[in-house]
Amino acid sequence: MKCLHRALDLPDFPTDHNGDRSWRTLWKETSSVDDLPLAQRRTSLNAYAYFGLSPAHDGRSCKIEDVKGLIEAVKAAVDPDNGDRSMTKAIDLTLLAAQGRFALDEGKGVEPWRV
């Protein structure tokens, strides 16, 4: 698990870290929405968009900022200037669904989307 953590370019324990240095502690202390690799963010966004599952981790209560931050992070990671949008079609649809659910969660309306 520590090797996987390193392979994902997540931060290691600081050199002055005292206490438990197990992989469980390492993952617990460095797993927030801001550190998650894009694939995990996309999975979390998909779970929110299609099933209404909270993107908050560790049983925390979900705040509107958590959802908004997740949508913006995935949106920023997908290059809108990419000439071949067929490569990101699934991500685009998930973003669209998440933005629609988010609008409904905020009490705003949505308009139908045509293919």
Its pTM stands at 0.61
Residue type, position 56, single letter = A
Query: Quick one: pLDDT band at residue 101, thresholds 50, 70, 90?
Result: very high
Rounded mean pLDDT of 77-104?
80
Rounded mean pLDDT of 31-55?
79
Query: Quick one: pLDDT band at residue 112, thresholds 50, 70, 90?
Result: confident
Over the chain, what HEC string results?
Answer: CHHHHHHCCCCCCCCCCCCCCCHHHHHHHHCCCCCCCHHHHHHHHHHHHHHCCCCCCCCCCCCHHHHHHHHHHHHHHCCCCCCCHHHHHHHHHHHHHHHHHHHHHCCCCCCCCCC
Give the tokens for residue 81.
């200037």
Query: Quick one: pLDDT band at residue 81, thresholds 50, 70, 90?
Result: low
**Helix and strand counts by DSSP (H, E) for the chain:** 5, 0
